[in-house]
Structure 1
Amino acid sequence: MISSFITYLQCELNYSAHTVDAYRHDLEEWACFATSGNMDELDAASVTVSDLRLWIAELAQKGLSPLSLRRKVQSLRAFFRYLMRCHGATHNPASDLTLAKTPKPLPVYIRQNELETVLDEATDYDDFDQLRNRLILLMLYSTGMRCSELTGLHTHNIDLNRGELKVLGKRNKERIIPFGSELANMMNAYLTLRKQTVPQPDTVKEFFVRKNGLPIYRKL
């Protein structure tokens, strides 16, 4: 039955060879566990969620990562969905398995003295990328803006004379953020260099852009 499922993935769904191999490995590993090594004796119709939990529990005890456990469960779910769709099975026991939670990476914080050291470094006001990136750091540091607010900032929402900018925050709520003369001077220098660097600068809505005029994004 597993071999027919693998053929289904290859011929009907056109899955990549890498994906098919991952499914095959997971399911053969499970079948070997379920039949004590006699995979030809596998009776998928009689499998219960308790049977599957025994296998997942053993893998967890062996130290398998939550991410790998999730993949095993997803392989089982896909296999039993196939049996329901193509072979008349009436229940997917794997649907009752709980997916292991994958740990979220901890946020990385920059120390105050490290950030101040970066901001104190000399800036080449003729280098577009360097000036823009330094301005981004200074703006985040001095205004407390979110990254999404900064990347979505439009030039017409900045008032250099009043020292204010308007951003669209969470739940599409607008808020006004004041800023000081140091930031205003660097913003003005950036706008001047942007006119000299970016093609058709007057058509660009976003304040922060790349040299080609396209908006920046979080992983610039």
Structure 2
Amino acid sequence: MSYQTDLRQFAEYLHTTYELEKPAQADHTLIRSWIVTLMEQQRDPRTVNRKIACLRSYYKFLLRTGVISKNPMLRITSPKVGKKLPDFLPEDSLNGLLNSFAFPDTFVGVRDQLIMELLYGTGIRLSELLGIRHDDVSLPARTVRVTGKGNKQRVVPLNPTLLQVLERYIALKQHEFGSGDNARGVLLVTNKQEPLYEKFVYRTVKHYLGQITTASSQQHPHVLRHSFATHLLGKGADLNAIKELLGHANLAATQVYTHLSIDKLKAVFEKAHPKA
């Protein structure tokens, strides 16, 4: 739908500005003029880049189908996009919520607590959370096996508090539904024993994080992943270790968290450097 909107806007621009009826007739100068117009309208560079990506796909299609003989997008470059620092929650606020909030001692209450504890205690992605099965969990080893992007698996340790909540949840789930699926079934389920889905987790996380923040940008599951990484780095964890825990393919993806800990780095610098 976004691409359709982008193509319509591009076609309208060409028709209004240059009286051009078909976008296939546009050369790189006309395409570039549209991009400049978008930038002059103070459009977000990410939005502009998405529109450029749309045009790249469109003109590749025209070239492949023989409508055009030369791709005008080869001479188009995308505007640079500044790195957006991820949102995270203060350590005190998040720990206060997880340690002090009175989650109901029921299947639903303990399951909700487990969702929060897993996301923050392991830093896993939402998709990884939904994919955890009973045989991925090893209570004796205090670990969980998660399947990340590209079906790459990694083993993540479980902290003692999380382990207690997990054991309580498994016991309540068995009491509620029996032990039929506890060997290989999905770990997290609804109160109707159906696998959890994205919107369910989003609503759950939003409800509980709403207790400590009013910012909507800080009320989604990925904030807990960002908080996990930021708090680990703030406590002195090795960046390569955080990379492995998060399941990042390269260190560059993990290095964004170093910008979030600048206050901590300043404090270390002022305390340790002879000239500070």
Deviation (angstroms), 1:184: 3.7
Contact 1:73/1:94 (CA < 8 Å) preserved in 2? no
What's the counterpart of residue 43 of structure 2? 64
The yes-or-no answer on 1:187 pairing with 2:166 is: yes
Assess, with a 3 A threshold, how the Cα gap between structure 1 residues 137 and 70 changes in structure 2: closer, same or farther.
closer
What's the counterpart of residue 129 of structure 1? 108
Contact 1:76/1:94 (CA < 8 Å) preserved in 2? yes
Letter in 2 for 1:214: E
For 2:56 and 2:158, the matched residues in 1 are separated by: 55
Report matched runs for 1:164-179 at 5 Å. 164-168=142-146, 172-175=152-155, 177-179=157-159
Deviation (angstroms), 1:114: 1.1
For 1:116 and 1:139, the matched residues in 2 are separated by: 13
Assess, with a 3 A threshold, how the Cα gap between structure 1 residues 139 and 24 changes in structure 2: closer, same or farther.
closer
The RMSD of aligned alpha carbons is 4.0
Report matched runs for 1:74-153 at 5 Å. 74=54, 78=58, 82=62, 85=65, 89-100=68-79, 106-119=85-98, 120-126=100-106, 128-142=107-121, 144-147=122-125, 148-153=127-132
Assess, with a 3 A threshold, how the Cα gap between structure 1 residues 218 and 30 changes in structure 2: closer, same or farther.
same
What's the counterpart of residue 214 of structure 1? 194
The yes-or-no answer on 1:54 pairing with 2:38 is: no
Assess, with a 3 A threshold, how the Cα gap between structure 1 residues 206 and 76 changes in structure 2: closer, same or farther.
closer
What's the counterpart of residue 197 of structure 1? 176
| Matched residues, number | 193
Deviation (angstroms), 1:25: 4.1
Give the TM-score normalised by the residue count of structure 1.
0.63
Q: Larger % of helix: which? A: 2
Q: Which has the higher contact order (CA 8 A, sep 6+)?
A: 2
For 2:5 and 2:120, the matched residues in 1 are separated by: 48
Contact 1:53/1:97 (CA < 8 Å) preserved in 2? yes
After TM superposition, the structure 1 stretch with the greater mean CA deviation from structure 2, 185-194 or 72-81, is: 72-81
Q: Note the residue ranges of structure 2 that are not aligned, 5 or more in a row.
A: 202-276
Q: Cα deviation per residue 1:138-157 (whole Å; 9 max; x = unaligned)?
A: 34444x34235543333234
What's the counterpart of residue 135 of structure 2? 156
Assess, with a 3 A threshold, how the Cα gap between structure 1 residues 41 and 80 changes in structure 2: closer, same or farther.
same
Contact 2:24/2:62 (CA < 8 Å) preserved in 1? no
Contact 1:26/1:72 (CA < 8 Å) preserved in 2? no
1:168 alignment partner, SS class? strand
For 1:84 and 1:163, the matched residues in 2 are separated by: 54
Deviation (angstroms), 1:100: 4.7
Contact 1:153/1:207 (CA < 8 Å) preserved in 2? yes
